[in-house]
Amino acid sequence: MVEGQFSKDWPHEWIKKIRSRPARQGPSKRMRQVDLAKRVGVDPRTVQQWENGDRLPSVGNLKRIIQAFWEEGLFLESNPHQEAQELWFAVKRFSEARSATHREFPDFDVNWFEMLATMERMVDEQASSIPSTSIKTASRLPKLPTLFVGRSHSREELRERLHAHALVSIIGPGGIGKTSLAIETASTLVELYPQGVWMFEFGNITEPQGLGQLLLSTLGLPNQAKRTDIQTMLDAIAGQKILFIFDNCEHIIDSVAAMAESLLAGAAGLTILATSREPLNIWGESVYRIPPLTFPADNDSLNALSEREVLDFEAVQLFLERARMIAPQFQPTLPNLRLVCSICNKVEGIPLAIELAVARMNMLTLEQIDERLANLLTLLTTGKRTAAPRQQTLKSTIDWSYNLLTGKERLLLRRLSVFAGGFTLAAAEEICICEPGMPDREDRITPEDMLDLLSGLVNKSLVSYEIAADYGFVRYSLLEAIKEYAAGKLREESEECKHQALLERHARYYNECLIREESKFRTHEREACIEEVRREYTNLRSALQWSYQHSRTYAFGLHMVSHLYWFWLHEGRLKEGLYWLDHFLGQDVDNQPADVNTAKALHGQGVIQFIQGNIEYAITSATRSVELARDLKLHSLMSSSLRLLAFIHINQKRIEKAQPLVEQSVEMARTTGDLWNLASSLHAYGKLQLEKKNYSGASTLLKESVQLFEAIQDQWEVSGPYECLGLSALKLGELSLSIEYFKKSIAASQIYRGSWVLSRGLEGLGITLCAKGRFSEATLLLGAAEKGRHSYDRENIANFPVEHQETVLILQQAMSDQELHRWWSIGTEMTRAQALAHALEM
């Protein structure tokens, strides 16, 4: 069809013009909007919207409009074929222009139109009466082949929605369990639908024309002359309370949407429950996005879960239920349950993936399954022989969805695989657009395309999204199996140089994000800054890995680690931080080049080594950082590194070496007006005075440190000076004041996920409580402090060694061995949150 052949009339003008003509069979008769609505099977208001230009008819409804116009003799007698074709082209042109997902509207079906005349002649020759169209008996729902597990909340949610809405769609990616949930939910509602609950499986329908015939044959209704399939069904279900389940709609979504819209408009008692990988997007639809089964999201905390907590996860329940059939000898011991948790975590609670993993138990141990899940699509390949082909493997399930995408949607999905741990719209717009200057090809992605394309992938359940409770951000993500699939397609269909350019854009984008956030770190925005880096950390780590693997981007990675060390400190990721710092700095610290990033990274390396107890390495790194900062005239960094060296020497009781360093650090910060560094260096100076037993002088310096931190609204860094104030008050015999200071230090440490700040406060508070004779509470806190030290201090040395040793001796004399052990054990078994709460309530 050549566009220039036909007029540019709007679709609503065509529909209104043709409908308003006198019929050739009876010139006095004109078709009303209500007549057209009845013939098409829609509400009269829908026809009004078509003729007002407020909406466009779907493919199915447009065919029924043309058929009605033909049968009523409303097309021009001279050339009805051309006029029908012009109407079709007008709708096609405006539908594609308005489509948010760039879905193509099909071409005019010439053969179908020519069949209308043939069918009319055949109908005229039939003199038989119209057969009965009543539904004799209710169809039974298919029985689920296995026990349905979990999803009690989802079932309750769907029941409530079906009470309130005539159309509810269960939306989710392949293998998530949409069909099973629909059948299970419907089976509990049979009494509400006296005329039955009917299941229509659309997975094997390849042509939209087969929809009507499938519904009729399932309902046991005959085709009727001069009646459309929809009219026949509406006659049969008129006045009946009935539930239809439309299963697997995504590949013929437009036709199913048109069918559902027509049926619901003509049958007040009908309710439809649809399952699809994307919504029908019609008026009145309630969309329920089915979540994965619940699973332990944090793999690192599995060992802390009890057996009861493990069994509460729906994914674990499904695994165990299916394992009883595959491997009856399997024993759900706690170690085995933790392996099951790890497997469920890696497959992200997807029911199909869990069932495929269980199917491997006839060949592999749980440990082997867990290890081999690094490649989901390779391991999870053995499904039920009787399942539909698209559901026999995880890959075939994703293939089904991928093949339904447009070219641009496929390209975007492939490019989104570069993200790790989620992304924002801004990140996708910056990284996944095509390079400037590329030819304007069909599959070229521009910034203007991104929102519509990403929305399309969300609608089709290939991309998930999360909205913050305060609507502060919206993040998108790919399930791991979809990400792995898309990454494979990217490798197959992208040139290596373009692939590397995409990864470089990813690394540059997240490096710029890191620089922006670091500027907020020493301000009142610290908590928000850490939370933002926490959200993007998986992407940052991915960018680090890529930078380390490519020599030309090595300096780029060094730049990132120099800006990340403070995050590793706060999160307690000390080993990981030191791993990356060592990788990018190398082993020869003394010969590091005079570079800002190197100087900053050496400072971060020294801080982490000091906390871990690697004193000599810490001194070497901090000393080199001071030298580079001095050469490069980086006053703020020089003040920080001098202070770090001072802290190290104070820890080692080298007061003479520490004194000039801390004095230089304080003087430099005062001279440059660097209030944050001044507050931090006064903390170090106060700690030095504590070691010299100048407790009053120490308190003066530490109080000034607190005041400065409060002045610049850093409410977290005060934990250090408050801890030292607690020790100073203890030495002065002011025990109540000491408890108050230590509790303030503990409260300020809550932003730190790492335990190194908290454990020092717990230890100080425990020592003070012992001095007050509160022995059991003191013992409990010292046990909790010891547990915290284990995560960062290789030698587990107490923060206040002398005071700690004296306190333990007092406790041993005051309590029996059994009582001491009991309270100490209670402390070591407490979680971080429990220890925090317990300390602050004292």
Within 10 Å of residue 434's Cβ, how many Cβ atoms?
19
Q: Strands, E, within 544-602: which ranges?
A: none
Residue closest to 42 by CA, chosen among 286, 282, 287 = 282
The reported pLDDT for the residue numbered 125 is 45
Tokens of 547: 């930078």
The reported pLDDT for the residue numbered 151 is 80
The reported pLDDT for the residue numbered 134 is 60
Q: How far is the C-alpha of 547 from the C-alpha of 420, rounded, in Å? A: 15
Q: How far is the C-alpha of 426 from the C-alpha of 778, rounded, in Å? A: 51
Task: Return averaged pLDDT per consecutive 10 residues of the chain, 842 residues in all.
Answer: 48 80 63 78 77 79 81 76 82 71 71 66 44 57 70 85 90 83 86 84 76 80 72 82 88 86 86 89 87 76 71 83 79 82 81 78 76 64 48 67 82 90 89 65 73 86 79 80 83 80 89 85 81 88 87 81 88 87 76 81 93 90 93 92 94 91 93 92 94 92 94 87 94 93 90 79 92 92 87 73 91 92 91 86 80
The reported pLDDT for the residue numbered 6 is 41
Q: At what angle do helices 178-187 and 152-164 cross, to 10 degrees?
A: 70
Q: Report whether 711 contacts 673 (CB < 8 A).
A: no
Question: How far is the CA of 104 from the CAs of 88, 90, 229, 411, 463, in angstroms?
Answer: 13, 14, 25, 17, 21
Q: Report whether 572 contacts 791 (CB < 8 A).
A: yes
Q: How far is the C-alpha of 439 from the C-alpha of 423, rounded, in Å? A: 27
Strand partners, 200: 246
The reported pLDDT for the residue numbered 329 is 78
The reported pLDDT for the residue numbered 25 is 56
H helix or E strand, kind and range, residue 171: strand 167-171
Q: Which pTM was predicted? A: 0.68
The reported pLDDT for the residue numbered 773 is 92
Type of residue at 353:
A
Q: In what order do the strands lie in the sheet with 242-247?
A: 197-201, 242-247, 270-276, 167-171, 285-289
The reported pLDDT for the residue numbered 1 is 38
Q: How far is the C-alpha of 680 from the C-alpha of 673, rounded, in Å? A: 13
Residue closest to 309 by CA, chosen among 322, 323, 321, 294 = 294
774 Cβ partners below 8 Å, 6+ apart? none
